[in-house]
Chain A
Amino acid sequence: MSRRELVAGATAAAAFSAVPLQAQAGNAGTDKPVTAKVSLTVNGQRRELELDTRTSLLDAAREHLQLTGSKKGCDHGQCGACTMIVDGRRINSCLTLAVMHQGSEITTIEGLGQPDNLHPMQAAFIKHDGYQCGYCTPGQICSGVAVLGEIKAGIPSHVTADLNAPMEATVDEIRERMSGNICRCGAYSNIVEAMTEVAGRQA
């Protein structure tokens, strides 16, 4: 799939997600919804939910927990706007079912920091203008925080020259590792600057 197709798909999906939830359910045909109970710890708070089994973790947060920071861009794992940190790892929350996360610890952008208590990555994004429209930003920031954790943990990437040597948060490493987060405003270079600054602070 080319970037152009990806953007077209993302636009269509964004338009579709604006349709009321009931209409979306109607689209699935006349089959009867099945519900299941799940308990999640979201941003440190235990939440008990009874959900249609089809509910993605993203929709559970947005539609059932009123945590609308995580965004639905493509809804197919291609854009990264839905990125959350689940059990310590960044994932596409649109491509996992809420019912598969019984007992999981979930951090969304709302849990990472608040307007009066910003996470260092949020502050760095503001300082370096790491966004324009802001739609991809919550996913970029969740991903960015996790990427620095992955580098610290010694997890290699496609551009790591020596698989058996320690790695650093170089510009090439950051760019490769952030490739699952698309920014159509093109704030990439500023995102890299923000992440580099936070990586420097951590080192």
Chain B
Amino acid sequence: MKSFTYERPTSPAEAAAAVARNPDAKFIAGGTNLLDLMKLQIETPSHLVDVNGLGLDTVEATQDGGLRIGALVRNTDLAADARVRKDYGVLSRALLAGASGQLRNKATTAGNLLQRTRCPYFYDTAQACNKRQPGSGCSAIDGVSRSLAVIGSSEACIATYPGDMAVAMRVLDATVETVDGKGKGRTIAIADFHRLPGDRPEVDTTLKPGELITAVTLPKPVAGTHIYRKVRDRASYAYALVSVAAILNKDGSGHVAFGGVAPRPWRLEAAEADLPRGAKAVTDKVFAGAKPTQDNAFKLKLAERTLSAALTQARA
């Protein structure tokens, strides 16, 4: 690990300013992803701004009947929050499907959104990776790509967004609240938060340098069966090959987003009207234009079958 200086500011604006004025600085919250990457020297910040002293750790009701989740609410606490369990079950389920108990106790809401890809070529510093080292190429495209993206990728990068929570946030139409280095706040729709790689795969999100997430807001609850169905290589503690976050009614109508298939949570609202017609009608549209590799073409069928299983569960 490269050495770094460390500070612990006491206000969000102060924290944002500290990172905005130093291009080598990073925020650290739970640290479960950043420290892993720092040990491998994939991330090499020279300064860490510890945001754990900022508060931002409560879940509060909003005036329009939704919830405002502080950026530092731990994954365990969010999954266990009585209001989330009752009204946003898809979010509880997605959180509980991710990582291990130890990691969920540390990992935060904002940090979860910001976790970096688990593409094995991103992690292996001996390999070319445009996300890790812009311009170096992509070893994954002609490499072992079983776990990687089937849609939304580019000629520069086929990495997937690895998280579960954000897939649920996407189907719930969450909004990300931030503050920048000048103390100015803004909101970003979850649909616009994660970027597609294009020719700049090193940039994962639409956050500006130094911009700090302060909260994630959920609109008022959507009725229906809340389902998060995750298919992975082992029963627990593994990343998704394919996941489905869905809120479905008995007639099959509802909303759905997919994880494990793209550089960001993948949702096509225009296809949701077809949900009562069955899974294939929806996935044909959602995955139109997919460019799978030979290794990961199975994900297209798997996505259809996983949605089909979710529809069966909702109709039961």
B81 CB to nearest chain A CB (Å): 10
Mostly helix, strand, loop or mixed at chain A's interface? loop
Q: Which of B4, B80, B101, B235 contacts A34 (CB 8 A)?
A: B4
Bound state CA distance, A106 and B39, in angstroms? 23
For residue A175, which residue of chain B has the nearest CB? B236
Q: How large is the interface on A (under 10, 10 to 19, 20 to 34, 35 or more residues)?
A: 35 or more
A152 at the interface (CB under 8 A from B): no
Out of A28, A29, A83, A92, which one reaches B32, CB within 8 Å?
Answer: A92
The total of chain B residues at the interface (CB under 8 A) is 40
Interface string of B80-110 (1 = CB under 8 A from A): 1000011001001100110111110110000
A83 to B105 alpha-carbon distance, docked (Å): 12
Assuming A156-B85, A164-B85, is B32 touching A143 (CB within 8 A)?
Answer: no
Report the separation of the CA atoms of residues A89 and B86 in the bound assembly, to the nearest whole angstrom: 24
Q: Is A116 an interface residue (CB 8 A)?
A: no
CB of B63 closer than 8 Å to a CB of A: no
Q: Which A residues are CB-close (under 8 A) to B145?
A: none
A95 touches B1 (CB 8 A): no
0 or 1 for each of B101-133: is its CB under 8 Å from A? (1 = yes):
111011000000000001010000000000000
B35 CB-CB contact with A under 8 Å: yes
Residues of B within 8 A of A150 (CB): 76, 101
Report whether A96 and B106 are in contact in the complex, using a CB–CB cutoff of 8 Å. Answer: yes
Residue B64 is within 8 A (CB to CB) of chain A in the complex = no
Q: When the two chains form their complex, are residues A156 and B79 in contact, meaning their CB atoms are under 8 A apart?
A: yes
7 pairs, A vs B, C-beta closer than 8 Å: A89-B76, A95-B103, A100-B28, A158-B93, A163-B89, A179-B101, A179-B235
Q: Could you tell me which A residues sit within 8 Å of B by CB distance?
A: 1-3, 28-29, 31-34, 36, 52-54, 56, 75-77, 80, 83, 89-92, 95-97, 99-100, 102, 143, 146-147, 150, 153-158, 160, 163-164, 175-181
A-B pairs with the 10 shortest C-beta distances? A180-B100, A179-B236, A179-B237, A163-B85, A89-B105, A158-B96, A155-B80, A31-B3, A53-B6, A92-B102
